[in-house]
Structures are given as C-alpha cells and as structure tokens.
Structure 1
Amino acid sequence: MNATPQLLWTPSPERIAQSRIHDYIQWLARENNLSLPDYHALWQWSVDDLPAFWASIWRYFDIRHSAPYTRILDEEKMPGAKWFEGAKLNFAEQLFRFHPDDPDRPAIVSQSELRPLTEMSWRELRRQIASVAHALRGMGVRPGDRVVAYLPNLPETVVAFYACACVGAIWSSCSPDMGMASVVDRFGQIAPKVLIAADGYRYGGKDFDRRDVLGTLIKSLPTLEHVVSLPYLKPEVPVPGTIEWRTLLNHDGEPVFEQLPFDHPLWVVYSSGTTGMPKPIVHGQGGTLLESLKGHGLQNDIGESDRFLWFTTTGWIMWNSQVTGLLVGATICIYDGNPGYPDLGTLWKFADDAQLTVFGAGAAYYANCMKAGIEPAKLADVSRLRTIGSTGSPLPAEAFTWIYEQLGQNILLASISGGTDIAASFVGGCPTLPLYAGEMQCRGLGIAVYAMDEQGRPLIDEVGELVVTKPMPSMPLYFWNDPDGKRYHDSYFDTYPGWWRHGDWLRITPRGGAIIYGRSDTTINRYGIRMGTSEIYRVVESLPEVLDSLVVDLEYLGRESYMPLFVVLRPGVALDDGLVKRINDNIRSALSARHVPNEVFAVAEVPRTLTGKKMELPVKKLLLGMALEQVANPDAMANPGSLAYFIDFARRRDAGIAENEAPGQTAG
C-alpha cells in the first residue's frame, strides 16, 4: 500500500456552495430525482448510466439546437458509438448567449511580445466572427471543407476558428514555431482549401520572419484555393499574392450558424504515434461541445465571472481548450511569447494586468518557477486567482506544495491529464474535493477510466495502464484518410479489444484520486508537446552521417524530462561537437526546439525485433530501471547483443556515473 500523501487543500463550505458542480448535483436531485451524496457517487452514476448522464449535461447547459436528438447513444461500443442522433446544432452558436446586457464586457484579453495588453468585447467578437464567416463563404468554403491556420496565439486566431465553426468548415492549426516538415506532414494529409497564416512572430525578444516558409508551405499544399495573410511581425508590409486579414472584417451583419449533425467534424488535431505520419484526429462539433462545457463548467469551475488563461501555443490541444472557455461565458486571456522572457515572472505579471482568476500552464512551467526561486506574490498581485491548472506532464508533489506556499490556501489546483486524442481530461480537478500533494483529485464525469493490469483487471492503489471501458462523446470520429478505421483501431484498441488504451501509467488511489506516472508507450511527450519518434527519425536520419537512430523520453512521475538520442554512424564518422550541433539544429528547425535531445550518443546498433521494428519501449523500460527479463525476449530479437550497451548505460546512470564515460560512444 502507498502512504497517504500530505493534505494540501480542503474546500471551504462557501467554495463548495458557490461551485457549479454543487448546483448541478442539486439540479439532478430536482430534475432526475437523484440523491448523490458526494462526487464519487456522482462519478459512479455518470459511468453506470451514460445516456442519462450525457442527456443531463445537454439539458443542464441548455444546448442550443434546431432539431432534437432521437437517441442519445446507440450502443456502448468502441470505436463507432453514435451519440445524439438526429440533433442539429452549431458549435459557435453556443457562444452568444452570454452577457446580453453587457455586450461591451471583454471576451478576449490578449498580450504578446509584439502587442500591448488589449481587449475585445463580446460585441466586437460577434461582429468579427460574423464577418470572417461571411468572407469564408464568399471564398467558396462549405461545410466539410478544411481551413488551416499557421498563426500565433492571437485574437485573430480565435475569431478565425469560430468563423470556421459557423460555416461548418473543419479547422486545423499549427504554431509558426513549428518547422516546415512538421507542418506539411500535418496539413498535407487533409487537403485544405484555405490557409490563414502570419508573416512571422516574436519569441524571447527575437523576430522570426516566416514569409519564406509561408511561400514553401503554399507550394506544398496544392489543394489551396485561397491564402489569407496576417501581417503580424511587420503590419505595414503586406504579403504579396495573398488576401489580407483586415479585408475579412469589412462585413457588418449577424452571424449565420450552419445547422449541422451532432457528429459533424469540428477540427483536426494531431497526435503522433511511433511509426508513420502524425495521426490526423477528427473530433465532432457536438461531442467537443458537451465535453468542453462539462470540463470547464463542472470539473474546473469556470464561469461567466472568470478570466481564464491557459498558456499554450496554437499547436497544442490546450489552445483548443483555452478558446472553448468562451462557451461557459468566461473571458479568455491569451499570451503569445516566451513565458521565460525577460524572466519567469512574465506570466505572473500578465495575470495581474489581465486580472486573471484562472491560471493554467504546463507542469514544466511551475517546476521551472520553483527551481528558479520565483515568488509570484512578490512580482504581481495574484490575489484574484482562485484556480491554478496544470497539465502536459505529471506535476511533482513538491510543485503542488510550492503552489500552495506561494499562492495561499484559497486556490483550487486543478492538475489534469487527458489528451489530444479525446480533447478532454481523463482525470483532473473538482472544487468540492480535498486535494493531496502529487495527486489529481478524481476521474472525470462520464469517463469510465481505470488502471488495468495486463489481463484487463482493474487495480486500486497499484500502477497499471490507463484504460477507458466505455465510449465518450468526444472520442475521435475517425482519423483522416483511414477509410477502414485500421489506424484508429490499432492506435487505441489493439491491446484491450473493445477498450481504449491511452498509453499512460495510472494509479487510482483509495481516496478516488489519480496519479499519472508518464507514458507507457514510446510517444515523446516533451514539455506537454507530443511527437512521434518517427518524426524525429526522419529528420535525424536525413543526415548522411547517420545510418540509424533511437530516441526515448525518460520523463516519469514528475521527474524533469531527460531525452537521450542514440545514433548509429557511418564507418569512420565520429560524433563530434559539429555533428551533434547539426543533428540538434535539424531537429530544432524541422520539428521544434522542445524536441532537441538532452544528449546524443553513438551506438553500434539499434535494438530491433525479428521483423525489423525498433525496440523503443524495451529500451525505455531498461533505462527506467526494469530488469532485462521483464522487458525483452532475446529470442525475438534480430540483434540481442545490442541491448548490452543500454543495460550498462542504465547501470551507470543509476550509479551517477557520467554518461560520457559509458562504453561504445563518442559524445559531443
């Protein structure tokens, strides 16, 4: 059994009484004649009776629709469950029920390294969304067409997304700090009709002109019919041959909301596996809507009086989560730039200037602030904050403690873990439950998530695979260009047939909480940004000196990510400083700076199976300290002797011996 961790927070009676989830439980008692004494009883009901639970979310949040549903759920199967058949709605229409008596209230507060703090009212947001949707229709964009964005995290990006949703177009975005290969690999799969792109961005005080990259991107996407440019880095210099963003804002009129089936595609997001191209995941308008309302409104207790930031780029699923904060009437507050520039106090100062009540960021940000000795309350007025959000990687227990030491006892720490794959959280926060150091408070409502052993038996207080045993409305509709569903099936359902295996190590505690111990598969989750190893291999192995490569991320239970890259070099080639720099520069420019390895090592061979597959997961387990007999069968390997290097590497790392003393390498 595991010892009970430190109790850090117990919600006050006032916090409980004022929470949206408390109101929802009272509403269930009146409307459904349900008596649910606490959150855990509510969760159990929500997974035992999926149709009743999701129907209650529809009714409680008063989903706007033009045609009613005829059936809530056809059957509890995965994949392929059909939700709310017959319903017609529009995702963007849910936005404009809020603040009718105060239309000049801020809907978006924004700041970047290039722009000072600015506000956009709900009135202006409505006008701009209507105008851009009108312009898209004028370009011939129709329901189901793809509109892609290569934009920073700006108000224009939010407007463009909701305009697409109005039309029924399918949205997809990449951040302009992503390299060209990564962007083409993503957008090229979905054949977009319109591209909206910025000319560049500023990060860490440096300007990055992307006009040349934009030109290459346009040539690489032959299906494009229109290109809209946002002169952001140099507003006075138009991008030749493109439609300027400002011309999309000339129409005055009310928004027109295309009425669409519940499962009409809303966006394509990308989650990379360990082989092949990034997976283009399609989520539906209705499922994303319901999950966003439930997650923001009930789990994280965000409402109309809140000002909500989740620091992110447009290439991370947390951007999607951030912009859906508007669906509960909150003011979303967005910051574009380097959170560590000019120092790690930047976001805390923004929290003061934007008057934030909800502050979210990746776990690595809080860990970095803690290590740097940052004291938020000495840098800014953070007294308005009532919720802190964390995700991207496990938040270590000492960071939990640091947050309460720095921000006081009135804070709900909503540490969450979910995924791009479901655009939701499996486990996370609840404003009516106590919180313990290092532990997420609960499993999400309507999500039948368990820690499972290899035989599919649920575990309590033991580490197992994160498995979901019943469907969710926000699970992918399908993967793009996967007509028989094989890639979708193989990504989640091949380990436990009929159940979703996510690829995380999970422990459900006796208190009903949850702890995530990192990835159980080989997808790289680097500071909250997921990338398949195959993307790194394509870049590294494009160098003529590199014959083969293998990469693993040893992030585990809140430890700082350590990602070594192992390379097999051509005979006669040494791994000197120059080659290491070229490897790192290639990864930085083609993929992202976040995926540059901590160290590069030369090895004689990459371990492979008899069928030629790189043995990433066994190597990862070896380097995390597991015994050879637990992770690999030499008889099933093409080159079993190759594991000796990694066994010795793990031994030396555990013993604290410098990696550059490990045998068989030339380190740079």
Structure 2
Amino acid sequence: NHLVGVLFTEAEVVLYDGSPTGERLWDICAEQGVTIFGTSAAFITAAMKAGIEPSRARDLRIRAVGSTGSPLPAEGFEWLAERLGPKTWVFSMSGGTDVCTAFIGGVPTLPVHLGELQAPALGARVEAWDEEGKPVPLGDVGELVLTAPLPSMPLHFWGDADGSRLHDAYFDIYPGVWRHGDWVSFTPSGGAVIHGRSDATINRGGVRMGTSELYRALLTLDDIEDALVVDLPDPSGDRMLLFVVLCPEAVLDDDLRRRIALRVRERCSPRHVPDDVIAVADVPRTLSGKLLEVPVKRILMGEPASAAVNLGVLANPAALEPFVALGAIRAFGAPTLPRGVRIAP
C-alpha cells in the first residue's frame, strides 16, 4: 500500500532485485538519488556491525529512513543519525502482510524518540490489552490489538471457505477483536515500543519477557551476526535455546558463551540468560525480514516444516534445515545438541 500510494504523488519508486549486500543498497541510493530509503532493522544492524560508512565516497540525498521487519534498536537510530546527518528522519513501522499496511509508524511532524515508533497510523485504533481483554496502564506491555476495523483488513483468506484460518490467526483470543500477535507498550510521548512476538514470549519462572531486548543485547557483541531465541517446554521446566550466527572468524567456545551470558545479564536481566547456545549458519527470515521464532519453535517440537510455515514467504528456506534436524533429534529424546556443536544446512 505504501509503494502504490506514493505513485499517486508522482514520486518514483526504486526496486532492487538481488542480494542486498551492505554496500550495494547504499550505492543504489546514491546512483538513483533516493530520498526515502525503506529497509529492515536487520539490514541496518548488519551494516552497523560490518562497519559500513554509507556517506563515504557517496553523494547521498536521503532525507528519511523507514525501518520494518523487526524492532529497530536505539543503537540503530543513533547510527543512522550519525552517518546520514541529525536532520535525517528515522522512523520504524509495525504492521502486517494480511492487512497490507502499518498499525504504528512514523509522523514527520512529531519528534523522534530512540527505540520508539512515533504514533499509531491514521485510522488504526491500536491498544495494548492484558489477558482479560482490558487495556493495560501506560508503559505496561500487552497484546497489540485493533479495536476497530481498518479499510484494508481482510474479510476472508483465499481458500478459507469456513473462515477458520482467519479466525484462528487473529480472532481466537479476543472475540471480534484483531489480536496481531505482537507485544507492545505505549509511552508518555504517544509513541510505542514493540517487544517482539507475543506468541514467542519467553516465560522464565512465571515472568513473561519479550525477545527484542535480548536481541539488542546480543548484537552488541562483535562475534554475533544474527540470533534467534525460542522457549521450549521441558519436563524439568521450560528451556530457552539461543541460536547464534557467528561472524566469520568467531568460534562458539566457553569464552564466548561466558561473554554472551554476561552481556545478557548486564543489558537485560539474569532471567534472560539462555540455557543453551547453539551456532547455526543462518536463521530463517521472511521476505520482509521478520524472524521466524514461532515456526522454529513448532519445528523443534516435532511439527513438519511444511505445516509450521509457508515456505513461499521465506527469504532463506535452507536456513530451516538445521532446525528440522534438531527437531528430529529432540523427537528421539535428546533435549538439545551437545555443547559446542555447530549445525548448518
């Protein structure tokens, strides 16, 4: 909807079909005179860790950067402002493919607060609800719900004759109210913070925690390129498994495990420290850059990959293979892989 909408303003849309390497997209922005750059939080974080300098030897005309796919950490806001200039408008958006739009996003006339989405989108009545279907106090975390219809909200899914798929996807918790599956809190400034998927929430001793805080802490470590965490049920208590994609020269040894635990404890809390850390070659993401936390959890619990996720929406389907292998191992009674084992497609 955003891409179609800008055509009505007679603006030009630049699309790139290829591998979005750290330098190439900035080159295209310079070559095409791009003024509004839409990208993902994962790309911005990767550019930060790779030490890329977008403005070096490039004539960039970027006035605004929009980020989506996953929460953009405060460090990402700061990095963009430092590299592109303090007057560059940096905004993060949250929405859904099935509604073809954003629920919360950027507003050019409002101030930008680090780590926050600026305001609900026009026409989107967004609230944070508790388990009983009541709005939570300002600043508390709750389920992201839409309490009124949107113009682009679907009435049916293709091939869903009885409406069960649509109901189970969005209306199974609060009757008649769209529950999107994100964990959100609203701030005194009128903005919002997305804390990750509510159905991927980590439960440690009865305390629910979002995953975005954990990812922000992990990606400050130079050895870690990407990460995915899941909370798996276990007879002895839920186990948090952390899967990490290591930088080329890094090794998952006891020293790195110790530094991971220390960084998570310092930046988050002792409850956030994972039970196991496993190295993988890649973590699965959708074409829009979203991590597949819930499908990976279902696969690790023994569900076939074809039932857990629509493979057509994946940017890197091969990344699922090690998780399928680990799910098979768990199905035969092993709770996880031996320490230090690296699994890869």
Identity %, equivalent residues? 45
Which residue matches 2:15?
334
Q: 1:467 aligns with which of 121, 125, 145?
A: 145
Change (3 A) 1:492 1:325: same
Query: Structure 2: how far apart are the matches of 1:660 and 1:410?
Result: 50
| Pairwise CA distance, 1:442 | 0.7
Is the aligned partner of 1:594 residue 2:316?
Answer: yes
Would the aligned equivalents of 1:345 and 1:379 in 2 still touch at CA under 8 Å? no
Secondary structure in 2 matching 1:364 = helix
Is 2:95 the counterpart of 1:373?
A: no
**Matched residue count:** 247
Partner SS, residue 376 of structure 1? coil
Find the aligned partners of 1:353 and 1:453 in 2 and give their Cα distance: 48
Pairwise CA distance, 1:506? 0.6
- Which letter does structure 2 place at the counterpart of 1:411? T
Counterpart AA for 1:514 = A
Change (3 A) 1:667 1:373: closer
Q: Secondary structure at the match of 2:331?
A: coil
Distance 1:444 1:565 in 2: 32
The aligned residue for residue 458 of structure 1 is 135
What does 1:139-158 align with in structure 2 at a 5 Å threshold? none
CA displacement 1:86-133 (0-9 Å, x = unmatched): xxxxxxxxxxxxxxxxxxxxxxxxxxxxxxxxxxxxxxxxxxxxxxxx
TM-score by length of 2: 0.64
Residue 419 of structure 1 deviates from its aligned partner by 0.7
Aligned partners of 2:331, 2:118: CA distance in 1, in Å? 44
Residue number among 88, 91, 113 corresponding to 1:436 in the alignment: 113
**In structure 2, what is the equivalent of residue 562 of structure 1?**
228
Post-superposition Cα deviations, 1:418-453, rounded to whole Å, max 9, x if no partner, equal 010111111110011111111111111211101111
Amino acid at match of 2:141: V
Superposed CA deviations along residues 524-570 of structure 1, whole A, max 9, x for unmatched, are: xxxxxxxxxxxxxxxxxxxxxxxxxxxxxx9534544426799xxxx
CA distance in 1, matches of 2:10, 2:55: 28
Residue 305 of structure 2 is aligned to residue 605 of structure 1: no
Shift of 1:465: 0.7
Shift of 1:325: 2.3
Matched-pair contact (CA < 8 Å) for 1:349–1:379: no
How do 1:240-251 residues align onto structure 2 when only pairs under 5 Å count?
none
RMSD value, Cα: 3.2
Residue 364, structure 1, aligned to residue 42, structure 2? yes
1:447 — aligned with what? Answer: 124
Aligned to 2:198: 520
Deviation at 1:323, TM superposition (A): 4.1
SS at match of 1:404: helix
Please state how far the C-alpha of 1:349 moved relative to its aligned partner: 1.3
Aligned to 1:305: none
- Structure 2 match to 1:233: none
Deviations 1:338-379 (A, max 9, x none): 111xxx111111111101110011111100000001111104
User: Quick one: which amino acid aligns to residue 335 of structure 1?
Assistant: Y
Tell me the CA shift for residue 667 of structure 1.
5.8
Q: 1:448 to 1:565 in 2, by over 3 A?
A: closer
Determine helix, strand or coil for the equivalent of 2:212. Answer: coil
- 1:565, 1:434 → 2: CA distance? 36
1:563–1:598 CA contact under 8 A, matched in 2: no
Inter-partner Cα distance in structure 1 for 2:27 and 2:121: 32
In structure 1, what is the Cα distance between the partners aligned to 2:5 and 2:141? 32
Matched residue of 2:7: which SS? helix
Tell me the residue number matched to 1:495.
173
> Normalised by the size of structure 1, how large is the TM-score?
0.34
Superposed counterparts of 1:375-390, under 5 Å: 375-382=53-60, 384-390=61-67
The within-5 A match list for 1:203-282 is none
Deviation at 1:334, TM superposition (A): 1.4
Q: Using a 3 Å threshold, how does the CA distance of structure 1 residues 345 and 471 change in structure 2: closer, same or farther?
A: same
| C-alpha distance 379-453 of structure 1, shift in aligned 2 (>3 A) | farther
Q: Which amino acid aligns with 1:360?
A: G
| Corresponding letter in the other structure for 1:519 | R
- The answer to whether the Cα contact below 8 Å between 2:200 and 2:231 also exists between their aligned partners in 1 is no
What is the DSSP-based 3-state SS (H/G/I as helix, E as strand, rest coil) of the residue aligned with 2:179? Answer: strand
Mark the structure with the bigger radius of gyration: 1
Confirm whether residue 345 of structure 1 aligns to residue 29 of structure 2: no
* Structure 2: distance between partners of 1:429 and 1:392: 15
Q: Which runs of 5+ in 1 are unaligned?
A: 1-291, 293-320, 524-553, 567-579, 607-641, 650-658
Aligned-residue offset at 1:599? 5.1
CA distance in 1, matches of 2:342, 2:116: 41
The answer on whether the counterparts of 2:139 and 2:186 sit within 8 Å (CA) in structure 1 is: yes
Matching residue of 1:481: 159
Write the letter of the residue equivalent to 2:18: G
Map of 1:71 onto structure 2: none
The Cα shift of 1:381 comes to 1.1
Looking at structure 2, the residues matched to 430 and 416 of structure 1 have their Cα atoms a distance apart, in angstroms, of: 10
- Do the aligned partners of 1:505 and 1:518 also contact (CA within 8 Å) in 2? yes
| Residues 1:667 and 1:447: Cα distance change in structure 2 (over 3 Å) | closer
Paired position in structure 1 for 2:73 = 396
Q: Which has the higher contact order (CA 8 A, sep 6+)?
A: 1
Q: Which residue of 2 aligns with 1:206?
A: none
Once the two structures are superposed, what CA deviation does each residue of 1:629-651 show, in whole Å capped at 9, x if it has no partner? xxxxxxxxxxxxx7x94xxx7xx
CA 1:448–1:410 in 2, change beyond 3 Å: closer, same or farther? same
Q: Distance in 2 between matches of 1:336 and 1:667?
A: 30
8 Å contact kept, 2:139–2:188: yes
**1:458 to partner: Cα distance:** 1.2
Cα distance between partner residues in 1 of 2:65 and 2:8? 19
Paired residue type of 2:98: D
Deviations 1:201-255 (A, max 9, x none): xxxxxxxxxxxxxxxxxxxxxxxxxxxxxxxxxxxxxxxxxxxxxxxxxxxxxxx
Written as runs of structure 1 = structure 2, the 5 A alignment for 1:501-580 is: 501-521=179-199, 556-557=212-213, 558-559=215-216, 560-562=226-228
Name the aligned partner's letter for residue 326 of structure 1: L
